[in-house]
């Protein structure tokens, strides 16, 4: 009986097992959700104008999501003459976990800002009074050499829509 082929197979399986023990923990951070910080001051001033015209207050809450790359600002704006309570949820696509689940009462023209540093998220904004939900995906298209500013608007009827403005430099 020739034991050499069996020994070779055993060594290959052993080497693969040892490599996976060291490699998988090293790569696991790639799918983990990043850290989130809540602040009351934006760290960036958008270099492009807001997509919607109108009076807007400075953000009362700034949600900052860690990651590599430039920050992409998304502003949630109450374009209504009355207070609006909105639920904000930011979902990390890879881990399917909610990084942010927060309820904010926005005064007329009140804003909340998110500063996101990498793609792979879904922002859900729900007007509590009407239960209307709007979604805004944060994709790789938002992270190139162009500057961007996105705005999610809640109008007086509780309708939610969004727009993004960007520079148009040739990347």
- Torsion on CA atoms 4, 10, 16, 22, rounded to nearest 10: -120
Tell me the per-residue pLDDT of 87-116, one tens digit each, with 9 for 90 and over. Answer: 999 999 998 999 999 999 999 999 999 999
* pLDDT greater than 70 at residue 1: no
Residue 63 and residue 1 share a domain: no
Q: 98 lies in a domain?
A: yes
Residue 73 and residue 25 share a domain: no
pTM attached to this predicted model: 0.77
* pLDDT greater than 50 at residue 27: no
Q: 171 lies in a domain?
A: no
Instruction: Count the domains in the chain.
Output: 2
Query: Using 50, 70 and 90 to split pLDDT, how confident is the model at 120?
Result: very high
Alpha-helical segments (H) within the chain: 4-27
Q: Average pLDDT in the 31-48 region?
A: 75
Residue 9: predicted pLDDT? 63
User: Domain limits at 54?
Assistant: 36-166
* pLDDT greater than 70 at residue 18: no
């Amino acid at each position: 009986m020739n034991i050499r082929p069996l020994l070779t197979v055993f060594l290959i399986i052993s080497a693969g097992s040892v490599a996976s023990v060291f490699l998988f923990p090293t790569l696991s951070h790639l799918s983990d959700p990043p850290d989130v910080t809540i602040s009351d001051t934006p760290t960036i001033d958008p270099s492009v104008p807001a997509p919607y015209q109108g009076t807007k207050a400075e953000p009362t809450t700034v949600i900052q999501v860690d990651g590599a790359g430039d920050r992409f600002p998304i502003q949630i704006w109450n374009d209504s003459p009355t207070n609006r309570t909105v639920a904000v949820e930011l979902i990390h696509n890879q881990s399917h976990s909610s990084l942010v689940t927060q309820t904010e009462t926005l005064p007329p023209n009140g804003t909340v800002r998110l500063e996101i540093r990498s793609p792979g998220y879904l922002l859900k904004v729900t007007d509590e009074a009407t239960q209307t939900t709007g979604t805004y995906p944060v994709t790789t298209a938002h992270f190139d050499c162009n500057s961007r500013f996105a705005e999610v608007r809640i109008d007086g009827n509780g309708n939610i829509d969004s727009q993004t403005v960007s520079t148009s430099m040739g990347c």
